[in-house]
């Protein structure tokens, strides 16, 4: 499976311009199986969603994702600020080529930035399956909570989408590699570049293999794509040879 991570410069609260730019980047890679966009890729990370969040039943950005997935016969993933029955969610949409969509609502809201004041946290841990690859969906601040993401032998790749500022980018680069090593999995980590009214972002988008090695990465402060192939057969062989997950501590989450 060919994974294409799109590191974009997001224009604040302008979905039209942002999706057009994403289309231009996707046009350069017509053979992609899975395109991954950053957190709130159509608006920027808005902690005050009133007037910016889209309705769950009529999201223009989600309709665009479905149309692109069907026309390109690929899967597209990214999060949108969503209003659903009077509550706001930072909702990760994983859209299949036939338009089917699986959603994950961000579990760990970024209290330091006030996200928890307006948004409702998700309650479910979501693993999707695409082309034989089991994928755990995660958003930004989730990266700092390894227990929630701990591999229970139920996924092969983690996808982190983020608006992670340059001030803390060293933590991002360290933690995405740690998650790959401790969970013996691929990690596809997508971060934005550019600026919004609150922060500056310089990317750090990368695909890390189960050995902690970087398979592909975008240069800092440059819009573009990181592209790599996921090999589940090689992953299975590695896990069999070096069965770290079999020796992991058992636990449950309330």
Q: Supply the residues annotated as catalytic.
A: 39, 106, 140
**Distance separating alpha carbons of residues 145 and 147, to the nearest angstrom:** 6
The answer to whether the beta carbons of residues 218 and 234 sit under 8 Å apart is no
Closest CA to 198 of 47, 7, 52: 47
Regarding beta strands 186-191 and 157-162, do their DSSP bridges make them parallel or antiparallel, or are they unpaired? parallel
CA distances (Å), 84 to each of 80, 123, 212, 254, in order?
12, 15, 38, 25
Q: Tell me how many degrees the CA angle 233-234-238 measures, rounded to the nearest 5.
A: 120
């Amino acid at each position: 499976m060919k994974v294409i991570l799109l590191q974009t410069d997001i224009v604040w609260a302008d979905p039209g311009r942002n999706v057009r730019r994403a289309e231009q980047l996707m046009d350069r890679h017509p053979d992609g199986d899975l395109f991954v966009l950053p957190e709130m890729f159509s608006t920027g990370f808005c902690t005050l969603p009133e007037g910016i969040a889209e309705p769950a039943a009529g999201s223009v950005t989600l309709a665009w994702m479905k149309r692109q997935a069907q026309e390109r016969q690929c899967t597209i993933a990214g999060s949108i600020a969503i209003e659903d029955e009077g509550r706001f969610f930072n909702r990760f949409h994983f859209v299949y080529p036939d338009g089917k969509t699986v959603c994950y609502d961000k579990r760990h809201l970024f209290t330091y930035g006030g996200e928890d004041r307006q948004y409702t946290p998700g309650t479910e841990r979501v693993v999707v399956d695409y082309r034989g690859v089991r994928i755990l969906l995660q958003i930004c601040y989730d990266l700092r909570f390894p227990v929630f993401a701990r591999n229970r032998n139920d996924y092969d790749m983690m996808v982190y989408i983020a608006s992670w500022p340059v001030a803390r980018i060293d933590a991002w680069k360290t933690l995405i590699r740690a998650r790959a090593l401790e969970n013996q999995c691929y990690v596809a980590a997508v971060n934005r570049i550019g600026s919004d009214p609150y922060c500056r972002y310089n990317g750090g988008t990368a695909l890390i293999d189960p050995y902690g090695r970087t398979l592909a990465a975008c240069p800092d402060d440059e819009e573009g794509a990181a592209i790599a192939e996921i090999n589940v057969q090689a992953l299975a062989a590695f896990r069999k040879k070096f069965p770290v997950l079999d020796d992991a501590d058992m636990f449950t989450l309330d």
